[in-house]
């Protein structure tokens, strides 16, 4: 099963098992989503539970917030992460604050799914990474799985969660990444990272598509006798600080790789956290390998390649860090 099949299977099982669950978004009904994730759902579950909406993202999330507060389990889809900006106030100003502002009287069990990231020639309006834009917001969880089994376990956990979750799906991994997915309902706790490869000379922290490339680079270096530990965050917020700090304590060096812009990105928070809590365990400056500080990823292949990192670039950065 690949990542997009894991999303579809998990949504289907959630719809099948709980009548309170419903899906709303642009083209999720008759067309079945632009990636055909919800294809034929409307025939089985009906238009009251698979709701085609106008092109109005603020409305999609705003209506979903009301549904969640009144006991339903809405899964709102933003067709591409680049379109999420009109719903920013509904996510940040409303959904994330409901439990706090109502003193716990209301919760907001809402999942907002959206594909993000580049590498598919999506150009300026279909390549953005939005995690840092929402990362600063207490009350909102952010999940970015990389493997099909994690997609299912984390999406189930997100649907079960009593508070809003932004579920980010890297679209280049949709059909590229395949793996075994357990049958039946299971969850993976939000906020628990996964050590994909153990190592002793360098810790690499990443998430989403870049996890796969970091793992590829680390495995290449293994042939040269360089031992790199690769950590998949899986959940960006809450973040598994314990796993990061334990790894840094062992390897004494830290490289953070992510596709989003470097300035103000997730890597900046990880860097600050490790500097505050594990500075004297480090044998080298923390390094971040991230997107350049430009407004968007270009359509032209050279521009897209210039924006995105690659396994070879990651391998070079890893070698430099280990040699330091």
Sheet holding 202-206, edge to edge: 194-197, 228-232, 202-206, 254-261, 287-291
Are 107 and 56 in contact by the 8 Å Cβ rule? The answer is no
Nearest to 321 by CA among 225, 214, 203, 220: 203
CA-CA-CA-CA torsion sign (59, 80, 166, 5): positive
> Which residues touch 85 (CB under 8 Å, ≥6 apart)?
57
Residue 126 among the catalytic residues: yes
Report which DSSP code applies to 180. Answer: -
Report which DSSP code applies to 116. Answer: E
Report which DSSP code applies to 200. Answer: S
Residue of 126, 170, 212, 258 with catalytic role: 126
Question: What are residue 178's DSSP bridge partners?
Answer: 2
User: What positions carry a catalytic annotation?
Assistant: 126
């Amino acid at each position: 099963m690949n990542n997009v099949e894991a999303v579809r299977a998990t949504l289907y099982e959630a719809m099948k098992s709980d009548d309170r669950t419903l899906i709303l978004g642009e083209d999720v009904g008759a067309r079945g989503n632009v990636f055909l994730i919800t294809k034929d759902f409307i025939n089985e579950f009906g238009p009251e539970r698979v709701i085609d909406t106008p092109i109005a993202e603020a409305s999609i999330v705003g209506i979903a917030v009301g549904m969640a507060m009144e006991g339903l389990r809405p899964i709102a889809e933003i067709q591409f992460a680049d379109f999420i900006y009109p719903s920013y106030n509904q996510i940040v100003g409303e959904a994330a604050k409901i439990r706090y502002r109502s003193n716990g009287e209301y919760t907001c069990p809402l999942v907002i799914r959206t594909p993000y990231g580049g590498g598919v020639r999506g150009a300026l309006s279909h390549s953005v990474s939005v995690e840092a834009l929402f990362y600063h917001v207490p009350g909102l969880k952010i999940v970015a799985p990389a493997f099909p089994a994690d997609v299912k376990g984390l999406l189930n956990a997100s649907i079960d969660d009593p508070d809003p979750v932004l579920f980010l799906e890297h679209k280049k991994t949709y059909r590229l990444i395949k793996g075994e997915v357990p049958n039946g309902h299971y969850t993976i706790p939000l906020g628990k990272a996964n050590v994909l490869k153990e190592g002793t000379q360098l810790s690499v922290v990443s998430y989403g598509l870049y996890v796969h490339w970091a793992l590829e680079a680390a495995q290449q270096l293994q042939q040269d006798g360089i031992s790199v530990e690769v950590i998949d965050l899986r959940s960006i917020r809450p973040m598994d600080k314990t796993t990061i700090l334990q790894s840094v304590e062992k390897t004494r060096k830290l490289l953070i790789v992510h596709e989003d812009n470097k300035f103000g990105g997730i890597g900046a928070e990880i860097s600050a956290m490790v500097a505050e809590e594990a500075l004297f365990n480090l044998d080298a400056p923390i390094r971040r390998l991230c997107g350049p500080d430009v407004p968007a990823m270009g359509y032209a292949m050279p521009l897209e390649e210039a924006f995105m990192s690659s396994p070879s670039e990651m391998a070079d950065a890893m070698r430099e860090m280990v040699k330091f």
